[in-house]
A = this chain, B = another copy of it.
Amino acid sequence: MPATTDPLPSWTDGAARAAIVEFVELVTTDGSPDLVAREERVAVFDNDGTLWCEKPMPIQLDFLLRRLAAMAHHDPSLRSRQPWQAAYTRDYGWLGGVVTKHYHGDDSDLPVLAAGVLQAFAGITVEDFEAQADSFLRSAQHPALGRGYLACAYRPMVELLGYLEANGFTNYIASGGGRDFMRPISQELYGIPRQRVIGSSTALAWEPDEAGGKVVRKPEADVLDDGPAKPVRIWSRVGRRPILAAGNSNGDLPMLQFAGQPGRAALRLLVLHDDPEREFDYVAGAERALEHTTAQGWTVVSIRRDWATVFDDTNG
């Protein structure tokens, strides 16, 4: 008889792996006092920094910058206006600062960036936007890691998603990133179908036309799916409280708190970026989440210690 195949081969034999396996056995073993019915086994995952890289900037920001630079290339009047100026001159400092400031609660530059984001793809159909995102994700290279963006997913997390699914869990992405940006690759990359991608959204509108009609993007924000919006958005889409949540930043804190309720087992994972050799080393934007993790006994996943392999190099 063959030995049972290890479902988590990229995880080292440490505390994080043990917490995951113990939790899954606790909620899935018949006769366990903490058994959770299959339909209640909902797991939610942040994406940027939790399932794939977010440094030196979120992948969607790179997508956006290229679009903004292309707009400034065609229209010189945009070259002296933010965020087009930063995109055109490759001033990544200004752009990265917007995200870091947001993590610290300072959203003063966010409207400037948001206005550019909204205008960058205004008026196109959701299908056209998705085709552009898909094409970018399949062709662009990560600026520092020497691999394509589709090879920037964390192999241990992909294994975790598969392990959970094999144990009757239903996995959702609950990301601050754009829902419609992630959908074209979520099934292929994570085994999560498009209807289970929750994320930030742009306002959409129905436009009748001679063929019936189409859904187009409006130049208006809809929902920034971060912080307290995450549990609201998860409830709205799923209609259940998760029993497992994984994140990596302060913006994931309400989602982590939402997973689990008195009298029911729950697992909360916080990915810690502490591996400058294989990935990145930063805690900016995760300080409060880390404090909570310690205080609540949640599980820290250290990239350096808990992951034997970070990326899947057969998929580069």
Contacts and interface: CB of A to CB of B under 8 A. Distances in A.
Interface of A: 39, 126, 179-180, 183, 193-195, 197, 201, 204-206, 208, 211-213, 215, 228-232, 235-240, 254, 257-258, 260-262
B39 A212 contact: no
A180 B236 CA distance: 8
16 contacts: A180-B239, A194-B238, A194-B240, A195-B239, A197-B239, A204-B232, A205-B228, A206-B230, A206-B231, A206-B254, A208-B254, A211-B262, A215-B231, A215-B232, A215-B235, A215-B258
Contacts of A205: 228, 232
Contact of A206 (B39, B204, B228, B238): B228
Contacts of A260: 212
Q: Which of A180, A194, A232, A258 has the most CB of B within 10 A?
A: A232
Nearest to A180: B239
Contacts of A126: 235
Identical chains in the assembly: 2
A44 to B, nearest CB: 12
A261 B239 CA distance: 30
A201 B237 CA distance: 11
Contacts of A193: 39
Nearest to A210: B262
Nearest to A256: B212
Contacts of A236: 179, 201, 204
A195 B237 contact: yes
A40 to B, nearest CB: 11
Contacts of A213: 231, 254, 257-258
A46 to B, nearest CB: 16
A239 B183 contact: yes
